[in-house]
A = this chain, B = another copy of it.
Amino acid sequence: MSLTGVLRPGHVSIRVLDLPAALTHYVDRLGLIESDRDEQGRVYLKGWDERDWFSVVLREADAPGMDYMGFKVDSPATLDRLAGRLREFGCKVERIPAGELKHCGERVRFDSPTGHSFELYAQKDYLGTAMGLQNPDPWHEECLKGMQVQRFDHCLLYGDDLDGTVKLFTEVLGFHISENVMDGELRIGCFLTCGMKAHDLAIIRHPEKNRFHHASFMLGTWEDVLRAADIIGRFKIPLDIGPTRHGITRGRTIYFFDPSGNRNEVFSGDYTYYPDYEPIRWTADSLGGAIFYHDQALNERFLTVVT
């Protein structure tokens, strides 16, 4: 976790056009587990290796995209402290009472210079994994479905004031920059982490505010990426790109779209980040390989299609 007490990406709320189709996609294909529904009709999902009650919220709406992304912090005291610092930074901060999302404690909602909504929260009910906490097996076959995603991992967001959002996450929330993408002296992409994964949040410079590039889910191995790809093929899920490797973060990855047009990634990470690491720097002349290491070429759809 960061020195400020931010633990991890804890949830993302995704807007979908058709909830049953979305559930087929996220439950049967990705393998998320439905853990609850609420009176607003929102559906709560979690990965088979996540312990908290949910990490994905699906909300039926007229347009796809991300409502907000939430980070868990280590204590209510941290929540209060960071709420104050966010206000000092200039964010519009809203406190959402416990229970607005079922099983979740009070949330501190804040906006960002790129126009995205984020949240912090300190408490979420424990649901646990099927293996439990006493003498657990490493996995249970009956929990694994489809792509068998282990957990919600990170989001990649597009927005205009990239440097502002980076400043917010690094200076207020204690995130570290693992990798920067530079066009000369202009930063065009930034990969941020609050822990030891190469990224918990990524932001790309883009003319519009508040765009959603993808939500990403963690797999264990490159073999898992193949299984995901095979499921994409079998069910004719619209493939964006992959299986391939990113230069940035070294991730072994595949991208595709949910039935509402939201992009998903499932990936297997490939290095351990530590906060004493200097950021890796990608230069514009190597951007092809930075993004798609095998092809060393950019892909228009990947760069421009957002929700």
A232 and B7 form a contact (CB under 8 A): no
Tell me the chain A residues, 200-239 only, with Cβ under 8 Å from chain B: 218, 220-223, 226, 229-234, 236, 239
Contacts A230-B294, A233-B294, A296-B239; A270 near B220 (Cβ below 8 A): yes
B contact residues around A140 at 8 Å (CB): 234
Work out how many copies of this chain go into the complex: 4
A135 and B289 form a contact (CB under 8 A): yes
Least CB separation from A290: chain B residue: B135
B contact residues around A230 at 8 Å (CB): 137-139, 245, 293-294
B contact residues around A221 at 8 Å (CB): 221-223
A280 and B136 form a contact (CB under 8 A): yes
Interface residues on A, range: 35 or more
Per a CB cutoff under 8 Å, which of B1, B232, B233, B295 touches A3? Answer: B1
Alpha-carbon distance A146/B139, docked complex (angstroms): 12
A307 interface residue, CB < 8 Å from B? no
A275 and B1 form a contact (CB under 8 A): yes
Alpha-carbon distance A223/B272, docked complex (angstroms): 18
Alpha-carbon distance A141/B3, docked complex (angstroms): 36
B236 and A296 form a contact (CB under 8 A): yes
A274 interface residue, CB < 8 Å from B? yes
Contacts A3-B3, A275-B74; A245 near B233 (Cβ below 8 A): yes
Least CB separation from A286: chain B residue: B135
A243 interface residue, CB < 8 Å from B? yes
Interface residues of A (CB under 8 A from B): 1, 3, 5, 7-8, 49, 51, 72, 74, 126, 133-141, 145-146, 150-151, 195-197, 218, 220-223, 226, 229-234, 236, 239, 242-245, 247, 250, 252, 254, 270-272, 274-283, 286, 289-290, 293-297
